[in-house]
Structure 1
Amino acid sequence: MFQKLISYVEDIKGSNHSSGAALVIIKDNKIVLEHYSGYHANTANSRLVDENSQFNIASARKSYLGLVIAYALYEGKMNSLDDLATQYFENFDQELLGKTTIRHLVTHSHGLHQRADGTIFREFEPGEGWAYRGINVVMMTELVNRLYGKSFPELLEERVFKPLGLKETAWQMERNGKLVQVIDDPSEPASYTVGRTNDGTESNLHTSAREFALWGNLHLNNGMQIVPEEVIQMATQVQGPPNKNKDWPQNGVFWYVQGTPALKSELGERVPKGSYQILGITGPTLLVIPEYNIVVAKMYNKRYNYGGSNYLHYLREFSNIVADTFRRF
């Protein structure tokens, strides 16, 4: 029953020149599929991808940051998603922040952008548009690290990773044989993408496909008595301001959430309402469909998703195939 999904993963792997791929599916809290193929890099004698291979998940780390933001709200470190950002970013240009709220920052509706020279400017007024930018991730990372007096990866290690038994999920600072290298240009050798720090400020979070799926399963099961249910619900339910353009996607705390299907959402129109997904530029995708009690973790190691400006089509199509597969379960 999974052959269509496996074939799709393999087809995109080839089309996008990824050297490796992985697919793990959890249904009713049991792993029902593990598929691994290819190599850790596009160079000779590279290691085969297997269950211990750890992929760089790039901006899919936002789901990990999102959980800590939800924790901070739950524990009163912040009062509300509707708190003005000026309350927390005193050294930021207050006039530029204006009426930006925490809600705007975690749902990509803040309107801030950054030039190559570091200058921050405003593209649109808070809540008046939607755009995926990196400045809000940087701001919220710095904020939660400051609010807790420690890095959010440290907090996750204490509160989530250890209780959940995760041992292959970490912000990596040194190369090792389990790390899958990242391909930027298919004509050039892949490279390790480790960081200078493990405080969550860099894109060096690596995890295995199995533990990526377990991260999704934690959310599917409302925290599994490890994380308060209210924290999970806050992170994975629609939190964005009312969309003035019905084509815009809907977000929880960084997660993409299926409300009314939207043209610019990465979730396909056949995916049930209440499902949620996170994506990274190196190809990892984590899809959770509560209605079918499933989690799907898909991994690649190539920067930029196949399809160029039409990449959303392929993301939506994959999630639609998943929905079609389990609708008949």
Structure 2
Amino acid sequence: MQLVRQESKQFQTAVNHVTETFHTVVGTGAAFLVIQNNAIVCEQYWGRQGADANARVVQPDTQFHVASVRKSYIGFAVAYAVYHGHIDSIDDPVTKYLPMLDSLLMNGTTIRHLLTHTHGLHMREDRIYREFAPGTSWSYRGVGIEMLARIVEKTTGKTIAQILFEQVFQPLGFTQSGWYGNMNEKLVDVIRLSTDTSWRTSESTAGDQMNMYVSTRELAYWGYLHLKRGMIAGKQVVEKEIIDLATSLQSPALNDKDLPQNGFLWFVKDLPAKQTEIGDRVPKGSYQILGYTGVTLLVIPKHDLVAVRMFNSFGSPPGYDYLTDVRGFGDRIMHCLEDATSK
């Protein structure tokens, strides 16, 4: 898959924002790309893939560790399983598919709750416990992601990685997206704070672990696939119903209307919410996925736009507000659009 290039200076304000973030976080490489109206209109790269003086320069085939951005791929696999009837309904209880789990602890917990971070489960020292009743609040916890991966594998007989390869990567010619058990020259080194103990690696290539690396262009193309509802170059590569499931509002009605809203793990912009992770100026109908490496993928259908920023930083240094910064990224994109319209 390739799009034409029509370079524009329209997004310089957003470029400046990415540059500022790059100089604030602890990292050695960054990238930024915007697709609008079916063309790459802005693409820039900074720095090197690691801290070593001889480290490879960041370039189009550099693959960044995308951290939680991988959840959009897991969400796709769940939507695939729902569309093809492997999962009957996202309102099914989790124990219908994972009966080995504690039925008392899991009581009332559905696949919808896992997809929208409203399940209320947390894990500490290999023990799962409940923070709140399912469907009553929102909390960003990894235990739900692990359960979703297990449900997909059990119901489809395929791993997350196999589904993505067969349904997306192979049809679109993606060769710079995947889960890696070993490093190679195109993968960035992840630069992290010495005080951060949450980093981990994995040798699994099944798509169930946080070891996914994607190039800037292919992450943008992943967003573009969703923007176009699976239709690429006149061909319906992915059923539009799968994309619609993944990117539309799926969160249960919560009493606290200021909590974030989700589709199939994507953050979606629907009703005004103070705790949303999408910028205030970004319009309704947009959706976004982000990772702790600072990697962010934002899709704004209203403006036929996909924006990606990439960093090889992990964690938040003192004085850096991660969520404020990622909201600012979307708002800078909107500033660029609004400024162009006013002219």
| TM-score band, normalised by shorter chain | over 0.9
Task: Tell me if 1:214 matches 2:221.
Answer: yes
Q: Given the alignment, which residue of 254, 259, 268 partners 2:279? A: 268
Among 219, 240, 249, the alignment partner of 2:260 is: 249
* 1:85-140 CA distance string (max 9 Å, x none): 1211100001100001111010000000000x211000000011100000000000
State the 1:170 CA deviation: 1.1
Within-5 A mapping of 1:1-329: 1-115=10-124, 117-185=125-193, 195-224=202-231, 225-305=236-316, 310-327=321-338, 328-329=340-341
Rounded to whole Å, the distance in 1 between the matches of 2:303 and 2:126 is 44
Question: For the residues of structure 1 that align with 2:206 and 2:259, how far apart are their CA atoms?
Answer: 32
The equivalent residue for 2:4 is none
Task: State whether residues 26 and 314 of structure 2, in contact with CA within 8 Å, keep that contact through their aligned partners in structure 1.
Answer: no
How far off is 1:306 after superposition?
Answer: 5.9
Q: Counterpart of 2:191 in 1: which secondary structure?
A: coil
8 Å CA contact 1:262–1:269 kept in 2: the answer is: no
Query: What is the Cα deviation at residue 312 of structure 1?
Result: 1.3
134 and 296 in structure 1: CA distance in 2 versus 1, 3 angstrom threshold: same
TM-superposed deviation, 1:276: 0.2
- The offset of 1:310, in angstroms, is 3.5
How big is each residue's C-alpha offset from its partner over 1:262-309, in whole Å with a ceiling of 9 and x where there is no partner?
221110111010000001111110000000000011100111246768
Paired amino acid for 1:219: H
Q: CA deviation at 1:243?
A: 2.4
Distance 1:88 1:230 in 2: 23
Distance change (3 Å), C-alpha of 1:32 and 1:306: farther
Query: Contact conserved, 1:213 with 1:296, CA < 8 A, in 2?
Result: yes
Question: Aligned equivalents of 1:186 and 1:10: distance in 2?
Answer: 23
| CA 22–259 in structure 1, closer or farther in 2 if over 3 Å, else same | same
* Residue type at the aligned position of 1:209: T
Q: Specify the SS of the correspondent of 1:312.
A: helix
Deviation string, structure 1 residues 54-112 (Cα, Å, up to 9, x no partner): 00101110000101101111111111111111211100001100001111010000000
Q: TM-score, normalised by structure 1?
A: 0.95
* Conserved? CA contact 2:247–2:264, under 8 Å: yes
When normalised by structure 2's length, the TM-score is: 0.91
| CA gap 1:303/1:86 in 2 versus in 1, 3 angstroms | same
- What is the alpha-carbon distance in structure 1 between the residues aligned to residue 230 and residue 315 of structure 2? 31
**Alignment CA distance shift 1:211-1:113 (3 Å):** same
Aligned partner letter, 2:121: L
RMSD: 1.7
Match of 2:180, as an amino acid?
Q
2:26/2:192 contact within 8 Å kept: no
SS at match of 1:66: helix
Letter in 1 for 2:139: A
Contact 2:193/2:315 (8 A) holds in 1: no
Rounded to whole Å, the distance in 2 between the matches of 1:178 and 1:258 is 34
Q: Which amino acid aligns with 1:217?
A: Y
Q: Aligned-pair distance for 1:45?
A: 1.4
Report the CA distance shift for 1:187/1:195 in structure 2 as closer, same or farther (over 3 A). closer
